[in-house]
A = this chain, B = another copy of it.
């Protein structure tokens, strides 16, 4: 009886902990990418993780690392920017998970800030050796394209 209750508590708590770990992982993306910390951003992805964003197909952790150090990204960061993520809806299933959120890229240009892009984001995550990592991330601009809207389906 006590064992049953302990087992149930452990399972329920583990579920909250998994969601917390994934929410935190994705929550780190904005601050780290805007700090241009290439090592830390890359470490959010699995070794063979992918990031597919508007005409840029990264196929590994090393590719993500290179993106952060790229002239395009360095240009954004030195001018001033925030990759601002919205609330993440996480669905865990054993050692894999899906997370969905919207995002806004705000950039600083000529003494002003403006919204450069709004995006839809879908993450597939995997637990490797007890640590959650991003296996696939797909981001599309919310510019009316139906493919962006398709990313926003969440599991209820």
**Which A residues have a C-beta under 8 Å from some C-beta of B?**
2-3, 5-6, 9-10, 12-13, 16-17, 19-20, 23-24, 26-28, 30-32, 34-37, 40, 43, 77-82, 84-90, 100-102, 104, 106, 108, 113-120, 141-145, 148-150, 152-154, 156
| Complex contact A13–B12 (CB within 8 A) | yes
Asked if A106 contacts B89 (CB within 8 A), the reply is: no
A144 to B102 CA separation, bound complex (whole angstroms): 24
On whether the beta carbons of A20 and B19 are closer than 8 Å, the reply is yes
How many Å lie between the Cα of A64 and that of B2 in the bound state? Answer: 45
Contacts of A35 in B (CB 8 A): 149-150, 152-153
Chain B residue at smallest Cβ distance from A24: B89
